[in-house]
Amino acid sequence: MRNVGYKLQSTSLIFPMATDSQKKTKYKYLGKGGSETHINAVEKMTRRNLIDELERVFHSLQESPVRYLFRWRN
C-alpha cells in the first residue's frame, strides 16, 4: 500500500506557491498521512468546522421564535 500525500484545494488562488512565494496557487500540500504537518492541518480544519457549526447554531437560535419566549422572562 502506498502512502499518498494530502493537499487542500480552494476555489481561488490563495496559497503561496512553494517555488515562488510571489505567485499563488489553489493547492496547499499537507504532507503524507500521519505526518505532523498533516495532523496539524486536520486539527485546524476540525476546529474551523466546529466554529462554523457553532456560528450557524447561534444564528439559528437568534432567529428562532424561542428567543422571544425567553425575552419576556427578563
In tens, the pLDDT along 54-67 reads 999 888 877 777 66
pLDDT bracket for residue 18 (50, 70, 90): confident
pTM over 0.75: no
CA neighbours closer than 13 Å in the CB half-sphere of residue 40: 6
Q: Which residue has the higher pLDDT, 41 or 4?
A: 41
Q: How confident is the model at residue 53 (pLDDT cuts 50, 70, 90)?
A: very high
Residues 6 or more apart whose CB falls under 8 angstroms from that of 22 comprise 16
Show Cβ contacts of residue 6 under 8 Å, excluding neighbours closer than 6 positions. 29, 30, 31, 32, 33, 38, 41
Is pLDDT above 50 for 3? yes
Report domain extents, the chain.
5-71
How far separated are the first and last CA of the chain, in Å rounded? 62
